[in-house]
Structure 1
Amino acid sequence: MKRTAGKRSNVDTIKPAQIDAGVIGLGLMGHSIIACLLAAGHRVTAITRSMAKHLGTRRHIAALLQEMKREGLLRKNPAALMPRFTISEDFADLAGCGIVIESIIEDIDTKKQTYRLVEENVAGDTIIGSNTSSIPLTLLQQGAARPERFVGIHWDEPAHVTRFMEIIAGDKTERKHTDKVMALARAWGKEPSLVRRDVRGFITNRVSYAMFREACNLVDSGIATVEDVDRSLRNDVGWWITFAGPFRYMDLMGVEAYARVMKDLLPELSTSPDVPHLMRGVVEAGGRGISNGRGFYKYTPEQAKRWEKLFLKFNYEIRRLAMRYPEDVGNRTSRKKPARKAARSGA
């Protein structure tokens, strides 16, 4: 990440209502990102290759805003926000945007073609954000006219609900741009982390995929079933992870004990670079998960809908719980509830 000389600008007073935002890609994630940005106060322009394929987009985003209103994350009338949302097939309509967020297929060439179109149509100081979940931002900066304004903005689904966000600096990203996006992320209702060195997978995916690999290894080795692994992790890691990250948790439990266990356990964990046999078997058999009723588990159409509905309900409930225990809650001299504005702003 490049540091720029001179006085740092005051980004703490940033106001989303004064910054038009663009979103490229109208998949599941694109919809929820748009809802989050509208709720925070941005005027949003979405770019798609085919308006005809997205005739229900406005209705879907209006429904997400209504959902946020019902769950207490939005004070404004959702109907009053919808006129601030535009869908277009023309990249020229991004001309007035102060930030443009790309959320399309994870393919480097496709993303770079999109960036070229964006750069041809926006101002020189417009921030270009990528919602890539695994591609190093430094690779995406290559060939850009102004690589210094590229910032990784890693969202999680449902983007209009979760507090998660990772901000990634590529090798050529200037500090002033990551500072601005960090401030915007807080205005969007996020609790962002800054990835200071550009690595594939960033923070959460690197940790999560190490867990996924070991979970598959336990099943492939005949040590446990899929159900056993899910049950154990739900009732152990799932019990504390919203309250404390791994380092805070080890502090709470006693660091020395973890050092002793690591010495003996780490050599026995899977370090295979190959996709696990269990995972390959599901994918090669056509399993996609909930979307087609076949994954590590099988689902009837009714069960799939029920699991999706319950997962969304859980996301709102876990957000409310997380808001009661912000990351610095134990450092405060007196227990203060988060301000209502902070709890309700953005997504």
Structure 2
Amino acid sequence: MKSKMTPSEINICLVGDGKDLSGIALCLGNSGHKVSLIANEIPKTALSKDLEAHAMVNIEPDWTALQTASIIIVNTSENIELKKDFLNKIAQNATKDTLIAINMESYPLENFQEGFSNPERLIGLNWVYPAHQTFFLELIITDITNTEAVEELMILAREQWGKDPYLLKNGKGIRSRLLAAMARESFYLIDKGYVDPIDIDRACRNDPGYYLPFAGNFRYMDLMGTFIYGLVMKDLNPELSQKKSPSMLMDSKLNAGKTGLESGEGFYSYSENEVETFEKDFLKFNKKIKALMEKYPFEDQNDKQQNTP
């Protein structure tokens, strides 16, 4: 991939499985890339019609498309053997100069670079759903990563994909760790009988739901006064959950096959109409939130240094 290339000259292969693929493909296609989508399964979502009709996205099972790709993006469920299987197939078809980016929420990048034919060209790349309507993009590298390729990808993500990416250099992601910490405390409070899921949702929606899109965590602490948080954490931290095993509530839901919208029940129950309406409303809300965030851009003088490989 050369930095002077236009989006239409940068062919991207997107391979994997799961719900996230639709949003990622739309993000790349909307940016002007020719996208070859190779998937085990693409679940039906509110984005399916847009994906199938998109002129820049070609859904195909032919792995030889990887041979002409400038970038190969892998996005799968969080299963290390599945991810390695995809990487093995890619290694058999891709050229040695192709940049390969794989999502990795809970595994260090070194797990995938080890034994890979061109580890310096393999990076971590985490997205969130719906990828075509969010600023989020998490890039992960190690000390053996080809930094020139990463610099070009950062520019591409900002200027063409509409992203506000950040770069992590220790081989591990942070978004999933932050969410896992909050989820663990939430489940702990529920398992202890202090609250119900709806109480947790109200607390999250009606407090951080208002300030996180504007300021993030640390700017909000600056706004409110950092000393307040220092006092609270001093007293509260010793009481927070340190549990290492899954929640009793989560175990009971999974064992009963209550996997969320797809099954009609998770922590809440949904009618068939509610399943369809809930996702469509989420996409509408998401689009409006992004438009609001664009009015208050998130910029910092430290960004350039932080996001340079």
Do both proteins adopt the same fold according to a TM-score greater than 0.5, normalized to the shorter chain? yes
Contact 1:141-1:170 at 8 Å conserved across structures: no
Q: Distance in 2 between matches of 1:16 and 1:137?
A: 27
- Alpha carbons of 1:10 and 1:237: their partners in 2 closer, same or farther (altered >3 Å)? same
**Match among 163, 166, 169 for residue 196 of structure 1:** 169
Match of 1:209 in 2: 180
- Alpha carbons of 1:102 and 1:93: their partners in 2 closer, same or farther (altered >3 Å)? same
Greater RCO, CA 8 A, separation 6+:
1
After superposition, residues 239-258 of structure 1 pair within 5 angstroms as 239-258=210-229
Match of 1:223 in 2: 194
Q: Tell me by how many angstroms 1:197 deviates.
A: 1.0
Match of 1:33 in 2: 24
Structure 1 unaligned spans of 5+ = 1-8, 66-78, 332-347
Moved over 6 A (4+): 53-57
Cα displacement string for residues 270-309 of structure 1 (whole angstroms, at most 9, x for unaligned residues): 0111111121122122111111121111111122222111
Q: Distance in 2 between matches of 1:228 and 1:55?
A: 31
- Alpha carbons of 1:249 and 1:55: their partners in 2 closer, same or farther (altered >3 Å)? closer
Cα displacement string for residues 142-161 of structure 1 (whole angstroms, at most 9, x for unaligned residues): 11110000011101001111
Q: Tell me by how many angstroms 1:135 deviates.
A: 2.0
SS in 1 for 2:37: strand
Instruction: Say whether 1:16 aligns with 2:7.
Output: yes
Q: Give the total of aligned pairs.
A: 301
Instruction: Say whether 1:100 aligns with 2:91.
Output: no
SS in 2 for 1:191: coil
Q: Distance in 2 between matches of 1:144 and 1:330?
A: 37
Q: Tell me by how many angstroms 1:85 deviates.
A: 3.0
- Alpha carbons of 1:255 and 1:159: their partners in 2 closer, same or farther (altered >3 Å)? same
Contact 1:26-1:46 at 8 Å conserved across structures: no
Q: Tell me by how many angstroms 1:137 deviates.
A: 1.5
Q: Tell me by how many angstroms 1:62 deviates.
A: 5.5
Q: Distance in 2 between matches of 1:164 and 1:108?
A: 23
**Match among 63, 70, 76 for residue 50 of structure 2:** 63
Cα displacement string for residues 226-253 of structure 1 (whole angstroms, at most 9, x for unaligned residues): 1112111111111101001111111111
Q: Distance in 1 between matches of 2:22 and 2:200?
A: 32
**Match among 286, 291, 294 for residue 323 of structure 1:** 294
- Alpha carbons of 1:113 and 1:286: their partners in 2 closer, same or farther (altered >3 Å)? closer
Q: Distance in 1 between matches of 2:42 and 2:164?
A: 31
Q: Distance in 2 between matches of 1:218 and 1:56?
A: 34
Match of 1:237 in 2: 208
Q: Tell me by how many angstroms 1:113 deviates.
A: 2.5
Q: Distance in 1 between matches of 2:196 and 2:62?
A: 50
SS in 1 for 2:93: coil
Q: Distance in 2 between matches of 1:41 and 1:192?
A: 19
Aligned-residue CA RMSD (Å): 2.6
Match of 1:72 in 2: none
Q: Distance in 2 between matches of 1:210 and 1:48?
A: 31
- Alpha carbons of 1:62 and 1:20: their partners in 2 closer, same or farther (altered >3 Å)? farther
Amino acid at match of 2:245: D
Contact 2:7-2:32 at 8 Å conserved across structures: yes
Match of 2:305 in 1: none
- Alpha carbons of 1:139 and 1:18: their partners in 2 closer, same or farther (altered >3 Å)? same
State percent identity of aligned pairs: 38
Instruction: Say whether 1:89 aligns with 2:69.
Output: no
After superposition, residues 61-210 of structure 1 pair within 5 angstroms as 63-64=50-51, 82=55, 84-186=56-158, 187-199=160-172, 202-210=173-181
Q: Tell me by how many angstroms 1:27 deviates.
A: 3.2
Contact 2:16-2:86 at 8 Å conserved across structures: no
Q: Distance in 1 between matches of 2:148 and 2:265?
A: 45
Contact 1:167-1:181 at 8 Å conserved across structures: no
- Alpha carbons of 1:118 and 1:160: their partners in 2 closer, same or farther (altered >3 Å)? same
TM-score (norm 1): 0.80
- Alpha carbons of 1:113 and 1:55: their partners in 2 closer, same or farther (altered >3 Å)? closer
Q: Tell me by how many angstroms 1:204 deviates.
A: 1.3
